[in-house]
Chains A and B, each alone.
Chain A
Amino acid sequence: MSSFLGPVEPDGRIPPYQQTRVAAFLISAHGALARQFAFKLPARLDAAWQTELNAQFYREAEIVSLLLRATSWVLDPSLGYMVASWESAWLPAPVEGIADPRLAQMIDLAALAHAVHAGIRPAALLPLEADAQDPFVMALRRIEFESGRLLQAQILFLKGADLAPHRDAVSAALAQRHAGVRKLWRELLESIGIGAPPA
């Protein structure tokens, strides 16, 4: 198994069946984050930190929109089952040790977003031969770059002083979300002939 997408087509494109599955996974994950951020976003902001919720919602939505347009889609009958399993994994999960349900939900969402933004590096799958001017290639680079920035909101929240008394609960929630997201990502990559991710 390779560590990278490909072999690329003669024009430097990533094979469309690989594009389809990778894009479907990313749309599912970032789309779920967009939806969950949207539900947390009040119609009128009453705290400074909520400006970040607004930014996160639109950037996640932008990632979905970008992939819808940049991907060379092909029919993939297996996707129905795979998408269903992914979507169920993104559903809110309880956080042990946090009594306040609102806070628990925020920690779970931040943990999921941290796992998606930190644990999935789509650009690291690109082989050297990939055409840098191809829209899908550019999209993967952009998503990885943007994820590094989006991640900062999760880092600030999860490392923040407000959650210091709950550090064990936060760490456990984060470990659980990372394990879940990485498992799905690894299984997806194996389904398109990619072994241990390079990063």
Chain B
Amino acid sequence: MPFLSHGSYRIRYELVGPAGAPAHVLVNGLTQYSELWGAYCEALSARGFRVATFDLLGQGGSDKPRLFISQDDQVAALGLLIDALGDGPVFLSGISFGGLIALRYAIEHGKRLTGLVPMSCFAELSPQLLLLGNALRTGLILGGTSYLQDLLLPMNLSDQWLQPLLDKLDSVKRQGWLVNDVYALQNLMESFLDFQPLTPRLSEIAVPTMILNGEFDFLTPRGLHETLRVEIQNSSLVIIPKAYHAFTLEKGTLTVDLLARFAEDVLAGRWQGNQAVWVAPDQPGGELTPFPAGYDHLRAIPVKRALP
């Protein structure tokens, strides 16, 4: 198990796929651990990509700072991993908290990236997200990691995914519960106490950016992704049908396909952001369709977009 060193901290990482190939770097969400990207590593490397995964500071096999975790340190750790990949093309994807870290890296080191994919992401804490985050933190403090998982599973995954697992949720939660410590998760959450919105700096991101948002994501709803689409010039927003916040877990094969196609299109010079809004196919390999012209993609019901 290889480690990178950032000051006195060790960061566990893994590289899969052919050396020298264009790379996908995948950044975990808050309660994730890098093994959850296992299927992505396999599928993306089969399509000719190198894949880099790692545990953020405070997660899984990486060091867990005891009192404070700075988001600057997370960005620096991500930078070390990207540096370790050499000079080839790098596509950076991150989900939720990991998406935020990816955005920060793209703002500060955008020239090193070939493409960026923020997923279930946000650049600022809306009142809803702030209050939800506070409530989740209180849940963690009072009920431990298991209770936090109990809250997140039904918020972030569909009935279709949960139904067959209802009688074995303990086994679904077990690995995440084993590798994540209460104090470390709490430190990760409290790294937002001095959070400054990224929105004013999003326009500095010039790299091709595909923003992925689950149709039914209410933890980080459409409006938060819309901020990214509007502020990042070379972006497009892709809505994943019938998906919630944790669609990378629930719709892994579709997400892998979207990541691979995005990278292939960018490398071939075919990709155009145009701040367009798309609807992803239900299945991998299907066509993306433009969001119906004239309708408001921020609404859940078909409302005509207000003319400027």
Q: Which residues of A come within 8 Å of B, CB atoms? A: 114, 118, 121, 124, 128, 144-145, 148-149, 151-152, 155, 158-159, 170-171, 174-175, 178, 198-199
CB contacts (< 8 Å) of A174 on chain B: these are: 66-67
Q: A145-B144, A149-B142, A155-B186 are in contact. Are A171 and B181 (CB under 8 A)?
A: no
Main secondary structure of the interface of B (DSSP, over half): helix
What's the Cα separation between A198 and B182 when bound, in Å? 14
The residues of B that contact A159 with a CB separation of less than 8 Å are: 67-68
Asked whether B183 is an interface residue with its Cβ less than 8 Å from the other chain, the reply is yes
- Take A118-B181, A199-B178, A199-B181 as given contacts and tell me if A158 and B141 are in contact as well, using a CB distance cutoff of 8 Å: no
A171 touches B66 (CB 8 A): yes
**Closest residue on chain B to residue A152 by CB atoms:** B141
**Residues B53-91 near A (CB distance < 8 A):** 66-68
**Chain B's nearest CB lies how many Å from the CB of A15?**
21
Smallest CB-CB separation from B60: which chain A residue? A199
Binding site for A on B (CB under 8 A): 66-68, 141-142, 144-145, 171, 174, 177-183, 186
A to B contact number (C-beta, < 8 Å): 42
Q: Is the CB of B144 within 8 A of A198?
A: no
- Does A178 lie within 8 Å of B144, measured CB to CB? no
Measured CB to CB, the nearest residue on chain A to B175 is A198
Would A118 and B141 count as touching, CB distance under 8 A?
no
Residue of A nearest to B182 (CB): A148
State which of B67, B174, B178, B180 has its C-beta within 8 Å of the C-beta of A155: B67
- Are B183 and A118 closer than 8 Å at their CB atoms? yes
| Cα of A158 to Cα of B171 in the assembled complex, Å | 35
A118 to chain B, nearest CB (A): 4
CA distance A109 to B201 in the complex (A): 43
A80→B144 CA distance, assembly (Å): 34
Q: Are B182 and A158 in contact (CB under 8 A)?
A: no
**How many whole Å from A181's CB to the nearest CB in chain B?**
12
**Which A residue's beta carbon lies closest to that of B193?**
A159
B181 touches A121 (CB 8 A): yes
Q: How far is the CA of A128 from the CA of B182 in the complex (A)?
A: 21
